[in-house]
Amino acid sequence: MILFTRPLFRLSGIALVATLTACGGSDGADGDRGPAGPAPDVSVSSIAPGTECEQGGVRVAIGDADPFVVCNGEEGARGGDGSPGAPGSDGAPGEDGLTPAVTVEPIDAADEDSPCGDAGGVIVTVTVGDDTTTEYLCNGEDGQDGSDGVDGEDGLTPAVTVEPIDAADEDSPCGDAGGVIVTVSVGEDTSAEYVCNGADGTDGRDGASAIRVSGLDGAGEQCADVGGILVEVLDVDGEVESSWAVCNGATGDEGATGPAPSVSFDPATTEQCPDGGTVITIGEAEPFTLCNGTDGEPGATPNVTVETVAAGDEGCDNGGYALIVDTERYVLCIGGEPSDPTDPTDPTDPPVAIDWCAIVFPTDPVTIDVDDAFSAFAQIFIDGVTGIQSTERPDGYGAQMIFGPRDTDPRDEANEDDWFAINAELNPEFDQDSAENNDEVFVTLIWDIPGEFDFAFRVTTDAGETWTYCDTNGPDYVVENAGKLTAVPPSGEEPVVIAGWTFGSMLDGDWFGTPESLANEGTIANADRAIQVVGAEARDYVAGTEGSAANANGWDNGVGTKYWLVRVNAAGFQQLTISSWQRGSNTGPRDFDLEVSLDGDDWTTITSVVVVNSPAGGVVDNEPLPAAFDDAGDVWIRWVVTSTDRVSGADPVLPAGTNRIDAIRVRGVPIGD
């Protein structure tokens, strides 16, 4: 900022001298000069053109005298040009002007003596020669906030369309590559872009196939009775491209006992054993070396004996020899390696013992209405296996809830047909702090039979070969200590789940290694009903929409002959509906029909299902069944393949293509009295 100081001007007084003339006498001598009077105040103001001064003028006031007006005269005629005068001589050089020195210093607002108070500002000092002028420039106060602006108009939503560019079109802007036209319209403005496919990349190298090998126990169709292994080749998506079974050969006749092999002992070289040792050769097998320990007491020659191992014994499929050195036993299989005596394997290990189990809810007798939901819970303790101590549960570990007539024993074979078993699930909401080393399992179902019942739980660690039965007091089952349940007939018209297969948090995936699964929701009359796959090959349980899902492959050439199948007892129910969820791999079947039957032969189509390879799946949502199926003792329901098209397009289904199913629920309204 540049500051200007305006100089003050003062008009000096003017002495007016009057000459007085006296008559009749001579002039007297001049008197003394009087003192100077004070200078009068003089003011000059402009007069605009008007009645007072036609051309404008000025008004002059001197002291106390009346002001007088001086009007501008009319513009005179332009005078003629005068003759140029002679050039004047150069004047003397003027003195150099003084350069001002300007400094600016901040004013600290926090200073109590600040001339600007809390606002702060700067001090500007201008020095010219010996003259110095100082000005304080204080910051102004904050202005008031401006009012909010007017809301802008809503923007226009663009409309986007994408159309394919036919590579076969001669006028294609993308040539042979093809592509798409992307059109974006916003109001009346439209723009289009051509997005062309890039050139084909170079072929990648062949990927390596992954191989999965699993055991066959001989219980299924593959390698029946003899067992073997299943070899599966997986593609990059983890789907099975091909598979084959390698079955164990039949057991041959027991061979004659062979002669004892020759055994020789030779001293080991220093390269083999720096502290000495013995090289042992048994028959035709490769020699092996026993070295002396370092810095030990002198050892005696070991006592060595050799025994023949029959084929199939001690892990030797082709037989072998047992080398007994002092008290240690080494097994050398023909075609194998010597065994480690510190890690024996006994193929006949007994099942893991169940230390304790009991019903934990309800422990008192309960009464419910028929068609009400009923839940029961049990806890299990196995040392080193259950609860937070668990690192891996045994393959055959599982639990079931069982029901039967009041005061009967489920272990008695005479009562076998009167008791039902329902697979239990691990309770995901179990508060482990209350019993950190226990597992808690539960069952929830709709109870649809009136009467008085006993219920209990049973637990296995060998896939159901043996069971431990649990009552409200523990694992020493007593009929009097079983759970007690009374169901009384209700009335109502709300639909309930008659049968359901959701495969939720099943223990260890496959239920006891079988590809079938019993209903885990619904009425007792359907507790023993299993889902089946017909024509295709059941595989395992994989991710579903509510937890796990049943999974199968081998759907190729399956039109009308390959399907999922359930059978439901709907006696006592009407207004039946069916729900389900399916998902397939890209090479699995795409098209299914949902069909129902009263005899398993004559089928009625309810709806069609289009399967996709995404969590959205192919869904059937409470599709109603015809009234003819109300109160039916058997309702057959199947999801049957209707085309050879695969999920990813019109190409045929491959043998390795999979289809999974989950969330199957049949609902109905109880029929009143």
**pLDDT at residue 76 in the model:** 65
Within a domain: 297: yes
Specify the DSSP element, H or E, that contains 402.
Answer: strand 398-405
In Å, the largest CA–CA distance within the chain is 195
Cα separation, 319 vs 313, whole angstroms: 7
Residue 468, Cβ density class (10 Å: 0-12 exposed, 13-18 middle, ≥19 buried) = buried
Within a 13 Å sphere around the CA of 277, how many CA atoms are in the beta-carbon half? 18
Cα separation, 594 vs 578, whole angstroms: 9
**pLDDT at residue 508 in the model:** 39
Residue 627, Cβ density class (10 Å: 0-12 exposed, 13-18 middle, ≥19 buried) = exposed
Within a domain: 434: yes
Residues shown for the chain: 673
Within a domain: 153: no
**pLDDT at residue 547 in the model:** 79
DSSP-derived 3-state class of residue 119: helix
- In sequence order, the 6+-apart residues with CB closer than 8 A to the CB of 548 are 503, 504, 505, 506, 509, 541, 542, 662
Within a domain: 52: yes
Question: What predicted TM-score, i.e. pTM, was given to this entire model?
Answer: 0.36
Encoding tokens for residue 543? 């991710």
Examine the domain organization and report whether 405 and 274 are in the same domain: no
Specify the DSSP element, H or E, that contains 664.
Answer: strand 659-670
Examine the domain organization and report whether 217 and 187 are in the same domain: no
**pLDDT at residue 142 in the model:** 73
Q: List the one residue out of 527, 387, 567 whose CA is nearest residue 444.
A: 527
**pLDDT at residue 12 in the model:** 32
Cα separation, 305 vs 325, whole angstroms: 7
Q: Give the amino acid at 519.
A: A
Side by side, which strands form the sheet with 228-234?
A: 210-216, 228-234, 240-247
**pLDDT at residue 37 in the model:** 66
Q: Compute CA distances 311 → 217, 305, 316, 393, whole Å.
A: 20, 19, 6, 32
Examine the domain organization and report whether 520 and 619 are in the same domain: yes
Within a 13 Å sphere around the CA of 88, how many CA atoms are in the beta-carbon half? 3
Within a 13 Å sphere around the CA of 410, how many CA atoms are in the beta-carbon half? 27
Phi, psi (degrees; rounded to nearest 5) at 513: 75, 10
**pLDDT at residue 565 in the model:** 95
Q: Note whether 455 and 403 are within 8 A (CB).
A: yes
Cα separation, 262 vs 278, whole angstroms: 16
Q: What is the CATH number of the domain that holds 665?
A: 2.60.120.260
Examine the domain organization and report whether 511 and 477 are in the same domain: no
Within a domain: 373: yes
How many C-beta neighbours within 10 Å does residue 231 have? 14
Which residue bears the tokens 């129910």? 573
As beta bridge partners, residue 623 has 578
Within a 13 Å sphere around the CA of 564, how many CA atoms are in the beta-carbon half? 28
Examine the domain organization and report whether 166 and 223 are in the same domain: no
**pLDDT at residue 26 in the model:** 62
Examine the domain organization and report whether 237 and 191 are in the same domain: no
Examine the domain organization and report whether 442 and 576 are in the same domain: no
Encoding tokens for residue 254? 């027991």
- In sequence order, the 6+-apart residues with CB closer than 8 A to the CB of 284 are 261
Range of the domain at 643: 499-670
Encoding tokens for residue 116? 């600007």
Q: Note whether 665 and 546 are within 8 A (CB).
A: no
Q: Compute CA distances 89 → 83, 84, 93, whole Å.
A: 18, 15, 12
Q: What is the CATH number of the domain that holds 476?
A: 2.60.40.10
Examine the domain organization and report whether 587 and 438 are in the same domain: no
Examine the domain organization and report whether 603 and 513 are in the same domain: yes
Counted domains in the chain: 7
Examine the domain organization and report whether 532 and 585 are in the same domain: yes
Within a domain: 6: no
Examine the domain organization and report whether 398 and 430 are in the same domain: yes
**pLDDT at residue 440 in the model:** 93
Instruction: List, for the chain, all residue ranges whose pLDDT scores fall below the cut of 50.
Output: 1-24, 208, 336-348, 506-516
Which residue bears the tokens 């329901």? 637
E strand residue ranges, 286-365: 288-291, 304-309, 320-325, 328-333, 356-361
Within a domain: 222: yes
**pLDDT at residue 470 in the model:** 95
Q: Cα 98 to chain center, whole Å?
A: 79
Cα separation, 93 vs 166, whole angstroms: 91
Within a domain: 594: yes
Examine the domain organization and report whether 397 and 467 are in the same domain: yes
